[in-house]
Each structure stands twice: as C-alpha cells, then as structure tokens.
Amino acid sequence: MDRSDNDAPRARGAPPPCPQPRRVLRTGTYLHTSCPLCRAEIVEGDWIHFRAIAPDGALGDLRLSARFNVFDQESTIALGAGDQVRDLACPRCGVSLLDAKLRCAQCGAAAVRIRVAAVRTELDLLLCSRYGCHWHDVPEEDRQRLVLEQGP
C-alpha cells in the first residue's frame, strides 16, 4: 500500500503535518505559457501568441501580455469593445483553446484555457474570450494551491 508522508502514522504527541502554503500569483509575474494540449511554448518575448478568428470570420494573430494582470494586447484582426472572438487556437498545433464547458464569471463569454508555469508551480489559467473583459481564474482543483492577486 502506497502512502504519502501526510498519510503516515504520527508519533504520539507529534504535531499534524503542515499543509502546503498557497502560493500567490502577483501582478507583473511573468507567465511561462504553453498549449495545454501539445505542450508547445506559446510565448514570444513578452507576448502570449494565439491564432484568432474574429467575429466576422477574419483570421489573424492575437497577442496578450505574458505578465499577470497586465492587459496590454496586440492584434492583426479588428476587435471592438465587447466583441468575442470566434476562436483562439495554439499557434503551433492549431487546436482550439476555447473550453466548451467553462464560461467567464463576469460576462458569460467562452473561457480560454492555457497552461502557465509561475511561482514554482504549473497549472491551467482561464481567460475570457471577450475583448475588453479582464476576467481570469484558475480551475477549482487548483484553488487550494494558488491565489490570484487582484488586478488594477
């Protein structure tokens, strides 16, 4: 029977094992970002790169800041306030990163799932697919490991 250190019997009077502290993802932290499917790195310099389909069907590129809570962006497609992209895909494997099961908690748009490595942990990060919405979150299963610092 395999047991983790937390499951091992304790000596009488010994304190319980310490829970792992939750890490805080702070504003400005660089996000080493990859595709959750092919695991290819999708960061180019200070930008997270996506292949995008605009609301009108135009194909192009969308780049978001690779710094947490920094909402700078560049795009080769026309996006207006409140527009939701039809799709955001990995620029390496071309697979859609929209998560059909998840929605933005602020505006209800489809959520995008990317893989990030920061603060000595690796986990999925969820982003809103609506232009101008700054919602982001981590999946429920990662909330015990990481706290997201509130943005500006």
Classify residue 14: in a domain, yes or no: no
Instruction: State the total domains in the chain.
Output: 1
Classify residue 15: in a domain, yes or no: no
- C-alpha span between 75 and 104 (Å, rounded): 21
- C-alpha span between 133 and 83 (Å, rounded): 10
The predicted structure's pLDDT at residue 144:
76
Classify residue 18: in a domain, yes or no: no
The predicted structure's pLDDT at residue 143:
76
Write the DSSP symbol of residue 93.
T
Classify residue 116: in a domain, yes or no: yes
Classify residue 71: in a domain, yes or no: yes
Classify residue 11: in a domain, yes or no: no
Taking only the tens place, the pLDDT of each residue in 6-37 is 445 556 666 665 556 677 888 899 999 999 99
Classify residue 4: in a domain, yes or no: no
3-state secondary structure at position 142 = helix
Classify residue 1: in a domain, yes or no: no
Q: Name residues of the chain where pLDDT drops below 70.
A: 1-21, 119, 151-152
Query: Can you give the C-alpha Rg of the chain in angstroms?
Result: 18
